[in-house]
Amino acid sequence: MNPFKISNCHHQPPFLFISQNTLLSSPHFLSLPVSPTPHVPLSASTLSPFPPNLVSISKLQLPSFKHARVSRVSAQVWSNEYKKNSDDTVEVEEDLAIDGAVYQKTLRLVECSMFAAVGGLAYFLSTSLSIESYFGCFFALPILISSLRWGVAAGRKTMVATAMLLLVLSGPVKALTYLLMHGLVGVTMGTLWRLKAKWSLSIILCAFVRALGAVGCVLITSFLIRENILKLITVNIHASLSYIVTTVGINAIPSMDVIYLIFGTLVVLNCGFFVFLLHILYALFFIKFGMKASLKLPRWLEKAI
């Protein structure tokens, strides 16, 4: 019996079926006579080379995953990451611009640190070489520059950084001396110049601040050497004044209150003249370096310049 002959029965045994590829590729398949029975209608199950159970399985509707589009999801994720990276790059470029906030903060930090280092080293070398009296007028200048450029807070931070540097290099005595004699004066002058106050007010306040700093230095030195230097100064002033009064022919002895008043007045006058000279020197310095717009000079100085 020829197994390739199609019988009238439209149901084939489940064990006798050949795949479609095999039938089409066989050379004998083309020569076989095909005589379908007219009484039996041809259906898809009849003509199919597969068994009917497989045909029914092929008709089953399998679930379709419409949303599982890997290419679109990956493209969307890549586009989101690209946008995020581009936004971060733009933000970094804006921050690192000259007008950016990060750039300005970094520049302020670098300048304040530089001014603090220069002021601390200058004071340390001057005191070590005993030339403080020659360069004492420049110790408050870095604080004043920081205050005018970056604000009062920057000048105060410069003063604190300089004091901490001197504390490490020279000890607490030199650091306190710098704070009382130069640091507080620089901060006061920088604050008043930043607010564009009048020179008369600035000179008076800076003179009082320096006078208080000088008295504080005397008290600190007295504590360290276990000797009341302020008392010695007032006693010497009292003795000198009594001698002058006696020489003139006045039979009177000044009281200690008068001596303290005279001593305080002399200290304030000395500090006032020193601060006045600092104002003129610093004003000329800033005008020389093109910072005249940030200053409020008196009329007589503007006319002289």
Token pair of 66, please? 């419409």
What tens-digit pLDDT sequence spans the chain (305 residues)? 444 444 444 444 444 444 444 444 444 444 444 444 444 444 444 444 545 544 444 444 445 544 444 445 444 544 555 555 555 555 555 656 667 778 888 888 999 999 999 999 999 999 888 888 888 889 999 999 999 989 899 999 999 999 999 999 989 999 999 999 999 999 999 999 999 899 999 999 999 999 999 999 999 999 999 988 988 988 888 888 888 888 888 777 888 888 889 889 999 999 999 999 999 999 999 988 888 877 888 888 888 87
Residue ranges covered by each domain of the chain: 100-304
Q: How would you label 86-98 residue by residue, b for 16+ Cβ within 10 Å and e otherwise?
A: eeeeeeeeeeeee
What is the structure's pLDDT at 296? 84
What is the structure's pLDDT at 305? 74
What is the structure's pLDDT at 79? 54
Please state, as a whole number, how many other Cβ atoms lie within 10 Å of the Cβ of residue 46: 14
CB within 8 Å of 245: residues ≥ 6 apart = 252, 253, 254
Instruction: Confirm if 162 and 116 have CB atoms less than 8 A apart.
Output: yes
CB within 8 Å of 152: residues ≥ 6 apart = 187, 190, 191, 194
SS3 content of the chain, % helix, strand, coil (to 5): 70, 0, 30
What is the structure's pLDDT at 1? 46
